[in-house]
Amino acid sequence: MSRFLSEEAGRLAPYTPGEQPRDQQYVKLNTNESPFPPSPRVLEAIARETQLNLYSDPTCAQLTEAIAKWYGLAPENVLTGNGSDEILAFAFRAFCGTGKGVAYADVTYSFYRSQVALFGLDATVIPLREDFSLRVEDYLDFPGTVVIANPNAPTGMAIPPSDIRRLLEANRERVVIVDEAYVDFGGESCVPLIPEFDNLLVVQTMSKSRSLAGGRIGFAMGSPELIAGLNRVKYSFNPYNVNRLSIVAGAAAMEDEEYFQSCCAAICRTRARTTEQLQALGFTVLPSRTNFVFAKSDRLSGEALYRGLKEQGVLVRWWAGGSRIGDYLRITIGSDEQMAVLTDRIARLLKQS
Amino acid sequence: MSRFLSEEAGRLAPYTPGEQPRDQQYVKLNTNESPFPPSPRVLEAIARETQLNLYSDPTCAQLTEAIAKWYGLAPENVLTGNGSDEILAFAFRAFCGTGKGVAYADVTYSFYRSQVALFGLDATVIPLREDFSLRVEDYLDFPGTVVIANPNAPTGMAIPPSDIRRLLEANRERVVIVDEAYVDFGGESCVPLIPEFDNLLVVQTMSKSRSLAGGRIGFAMGSPELIAGLNRVKYSFNPYNVNRLSIVAGAAAMEDEEYFQSCCAAICRTRARTTEQLQALGFTVLPSRTNFVFAKSDRLSGEALYRGLKEQGVLVRWWAGGSRIGDYLRITIGSDEQMAVLTDRIARLLKQS
């Protein structure tokens, strides 16, 4: 460890992003990107934004207003950030700390763990059931902040908003953060619960369903009280956190309803087809409400599949370390063409085995 | 205070950005933006970057390579961020903490104070001399991390790299962070000291001299050891921290040497002219190596000037609270036309007084 590092920096648990290789053209199904470009209106809005010598609006009013309008909320219910990872970091700092621990599932977005280490939080990790479903009863009595990815990653499985409602009602003094990064692919959002519960924070992203992973736009929705808490952290960390291009890109993406709906519908159709094909190849595929599937073969290990596919130019996500998900692959739903390559390569690997 | 906030969030000291009014067209000389648009090559690069559905490269290789090339460094010497505020936050977390306090001047970039509160750091605030010059001897024995804005904001004054060298040599176990946000307007960079000192971190931004405040691009340069420390924090906080558009915009800005030099030269010429005009109006103007001047009138208070100018459509930065800088204004150097409006409006206010 470097002599220059603070004790706190020494204790960090940095996140490992999915591979972003620059050496070869892969069929890239490892980071849950959309196979579709952003709406043409997004590119038009970017081309019109030329005043880059001026700071962006720190309140991101144009973007928060577009999001609020889409969800039928007020702008005071919305905060935007440089991707939802930043929003999550703001939320972990705002609502967790001394005497306020955090609970989340054993199999979920692994970045939560990095943020727990960043802020030195007490984390309670609660195992999912054997079938990877979440038992909401396990969280009812937890006194600190609860974080639930819904639908969950990397399992793809969802719980109904009625379960989230039970968590919110069980203790109105604690914050429940629902990470809805993947909700637009068949999940059911908890946003309609916001007017009723001032302890609910919903976090979403434009990286998946709005085809803007490269634009880095995340947002939180909740009571004005929770949004004010996030702003305290934002203005202590990076007041101008969303740049001018992302502000106009995100607003344009929210306004092109038709394009958004058609992209999400296409992903859901391809997901159904891919699921059937994987099942026909002997895979167990968890029921997905996301733009990926979480699946394991009845014949090849997760590692063998991951490595074999990579050799054949197809990248999927696999978690090393022999945990309970070690035989699963997380496979992004790409275009029909990409998924045809995937299933073809898997079939080859199975034949060779 | 909200019942949902953590103790730590309750103790924050959020930064107040310069006013960004949306209600009126101001001559805006309050946030040190460039009056010039970004290089045409920047807009071309943005127009070519349409694959926004894909994540940005978390290592920002294209951008770090362009910066490294310009400075004659290796890519391992460079880290890029979502504005230099984010970079500073990474540095405060990486190199300050338990047993590692931080020292900075009483009159300097006020955001350091926000970051001290964010990470709960021990801060030692060292007064500048009466004439706002920095006495490097005051920092020689400080055992923790030293942060020096050079040139300083809001004073605009600079110290020579030989002074920074003394700090670096005095204690090679401690990190010295030199915030060179304004260095391109006549300051002298400490980057040439990097190969000699592994404890030197230089932070810069494209917001001022590269006309990209709205693109949010900051960067740090230092030894691979320090850059690795920053990366630990970055990957714990927000791995994809620079979006695709900012990556290509920043790289293009570094490559247009001629445009960069001509913009900086124009600002320096206008600064000289504005300084003379303000002096002719009875102002004391501190010697500036930045794209702003820090000045006070011999007749009107800082508050009277700030309010009078705002009423007449000219925004400058003034710090309320009656501190030792309460009679000074920080005035951005804009275009010749903008500065003519400024001096005309000041002359009017002086006549009315």
Question: Cα separation of A119 and A237, whole Å?
Answer: 13
Q: Count of CB atoms within 10 A of residue A308's CB?
A: 18
Whether residues A38 and B52 touch (CB distance < 8 A) is answered with: yes
Query: Which residues in chain A have Cβ-Cβ distances shorter than 8 Å to B224?
Result: none
Whether residues B95 and A226 touch (CB distance < 8 A) is answered with: no
3-state secondary structure of B63: helix
Report yes or no on B169 lying in a domain: yes
| Percent of chain B as helix, strand, coil, to the nearest 5 | 40, 15, 45
What tokens were used for A283?
């895979």
> Quick one: A267 and A205 in the same domain?
no
Report yes or no on B1 lying in a domain: no
Domain end position, chosen among B205, B237, B256: B256
Question: Cα separation of A175 and A270, whole Å?
Answer: 36
- Of B33, B349, B11, B337, nearest to B208 by C-alpha is B33
Spacing of C-alpha B101 from chain mean position: 22
> Quick one: A267 and A247 in the same domain?
no
Q: How confident is the model at residue A30 (pLDDT cuts 50, 70, 90)?
A: very high
The mean pLDDT value for A120-129 works out to 97
Question: Cα separation of B176 and A119, whole Å?
Answer: 24
Q: Backbone phi, then psi, for A129, in 5-degree steps?
A: -65, 170
- Percent of chain A, pLDDT > 90? 95
ipTM: 0.97
Whether residues A97 and B8 touch (CB distance < 8 A) is answered with: yes
Each residue's pLDDT tens digit, A147-187:
999 999 999 999 999 999 999 999 999 999 999 999 999 99
Distance from CA of B352 to the nearest CA of A (A): 32
Predicted local confidence at residue B18, as pLDDT: 81
CATH number of the domain bearing residue A126: 3.40.640.10
Whether residues B238 and A82 touch (CB distance < 8 A) is answered with: yes
pLDDT at A20 over 80: no
Predicted local confidence at residue A297, as pLDDT: 97
Low-confidence ranges of chain B (pLDDT < 50): none
Report yes or no on A70 lying in a domain: yes
Q: How many domains does chain A have?
A: 2
Which of B1, B4, B248 is the best mutation test for A, with the most CBs of A within 10 A? B4
Q: Give the nearest partner residue to A4 out of B12, B52, B175, using CB atoms.
A: B175
Predicted local confidence at residue B203, as pLDDT: 98
CATH number of the domain bearing residue A345: 3.90.1150.10
Question: Cα separation of A350 and A281, whole Å?
Answer: 8
> Quick one: B290 and B239 in the same domain?
no
Mean pLDDT of chain B: 96
Residue B243 per-residue DSSP state: -
What tokens were used for A26?
């892969």
Whether residues B95 and A9 touch (CB distance < 8 A) is answered with: yes
Query: Which residues in chain A have Cβ-Cβ distances shorter than 8 Å to B96?
Result: 6
Predicted local confidence at residue B32, as pLDDT: 97
> Quick one: A231 and A284 in the same domain?
no
Question: Cα separation of B34 and B211, whole Å?
Answer: 5
How many A×B Cβ pairs under 8 Å?
288
Whether residues B226 and A4 touch (CB distance < 8 A) is answered with: yes
Distance from CA of B118 to the nearest CA of A (A): 6
Distance from CA of B3 to the nearest CA of A (A): 7
The mean pLDDT value for A69-87 works out to 98
Question: Cα separation of A213 and A33, whole Å?
Answer: 7
Each residue's pLDDT tens digit, A310-323:
999 999 999 987 78
Q: Give the nearest partner residue to B38 out of A53, A117, A174, using CB atoms.
A: A53
Question: Cα separation of B278 and B23, whole Å?
Answer: 29
Q: Which segments of chain A are extended strands (E)?
A: 27-29, 78-81, 102-105, 123-126, 145-149, 176-179, 200-205, 218-222, 283-285, 292-297, 314-316, 329-332
Report yes or no on A194 lying in a domain: yes
Each residue's pLDDT tens digit, B118-132:
999 999 999 999 999
> Which pairs count as long-range contacts for B164-169, CB under 8 Å and 24+ apart, including other chains?
B164/B136, B164/B190, B164/B193, B164/B200, B165/B193, B165/B197, B166/B136, B166/B140, B167/B136, B167/B139, B167/B140, B168/B193, B168/B197, B168/B199, B168/B200, B169/B197
Which of A50, A53, A206 is the best mutation test for B, with the most CBs of B within 10 A? A53
Fill in the amino acid letter for B115. Q
3-state secondary structure of A320: coil
Query: Which residues in chain A have Cβ-Cβ distances shorter than 8 Å to B243?
Result: 82, 214-216, 243, 245-246
What is the end-to-end Cα distance of chain B in Å, rounded?
A: 43
Domain end position, chosen among B197, B226, B256: B256
Query: Which residues in chain B have Cβ-Cβ distances shorter than 8 Å to A117?
Result: 236
Whether residues A238 and B86 touch (CB distance < 8 A) is answered with: yes
> Quick one: B178 and B241 in the same domain?
yes
What tokens were used for A249?
């890109």
Question: Cα separation of A43 and B245, whole Å?
Answer: 11
Question: Cα separation of A219 and A230, whole Å?
Answer: 11
> Quick one: B179 and B271 in the same domain?
no
Distance from CA of B301 to the nearest CA of A (A): 28
> Quick one: A94 and A141 in the same domain?
yes
Each residue's pLDDT tens digit, B76-108:
999 999 999 999 999 999 999 999 999 999 999
> Quick one: A188 and A288 in the same domain?
no
Whether the bond between A35 and the residue before it is cis, its omega within 30 degrees of 0, is: no
3-state secondary structure of A158: coil
Distance from CA of A148 to the nearest CA of B (A): 17
Secondary structure, 3-state, B15-59:
CCCCCCCCCCCCEEECCCCCCCCCCHHHHHHHHHCCCCCCCCCCC
User: Which residues have a Cβ under 8 Å from the Cβ of A78 and sit 6 or more positions away?
Assistant: A64, A67, A68, A71, A219, A220, A221, A227
- Of B172, B312, B92, nearest to A236 by C-alpha is B92
The mean pLDDT value for A251-259 works out to 98
Mean pLDDT of chain A: 96
> Quick one: B231 and B346 in the same domain?
no
Which of A8, A238, A315 is the best mutation test for B, with the most CBs of B within 10 A? A238
Predicted local confidence at residue B1, as pLDDT: 80
> Quick one: A149 and A28 in the same domain?
no
Q: Give the nearest partner residue to A216 out of B8, B95, B243, using CB atoms.
A: B243
Report yes or no on A292 lying in a domain: yes
Whether residues B8 and A98 touch (CB distance < 8 A) is answered with: yes
Whether residues B58 and A13 touch (CB distance < 8 A) is answered with: no
Strand A200-205, strand A218-222: pairing:
antiparallel
- Give the C-alpha distances (Å, rounded to integers) separating B38 from A249, B215, B243, B250: 19, 10, 18, 10
Domain end position, chosen among B236, B256, B276: B256
> Quick one: B236 and B263 in the same domain?
no
Domain residues for the domain of A290 are: 7-36+258-352
Predicted local confidence at residue B74, as pLDDT: 98
Strand A123-126, strand A102-105: pairing:
parallel
With CA atoms as reference, the chain B residue closest to A62 would be B22
Report yes or no on B248 lying in a domain: yes
Report yes or no on A2 lying in a domain: no
Whether A175 and A199 have beta carbons less than 8 Å apart is answered as yes
Report yes or no on A1 lying in a domain: no
Q: Give the nearest partner residue to A12 out of B95, B232, B240, using CB atoms.
A: B232
Query: Which residues in chain B have Cβ-Cβ distances shorter than 8 Å to A93?
Result: 6, 8-9, 118
Query: Which residues in chain B have Cβ-Cβ distances shorter than 8 Å to A215?
Result: 52, 243-245
> Quick one: B240 and B308 in the same domain?
no
Query: Which residues in chain B have Cβ-Cβ distances shorter than 8 Å to A61?
Result: 22
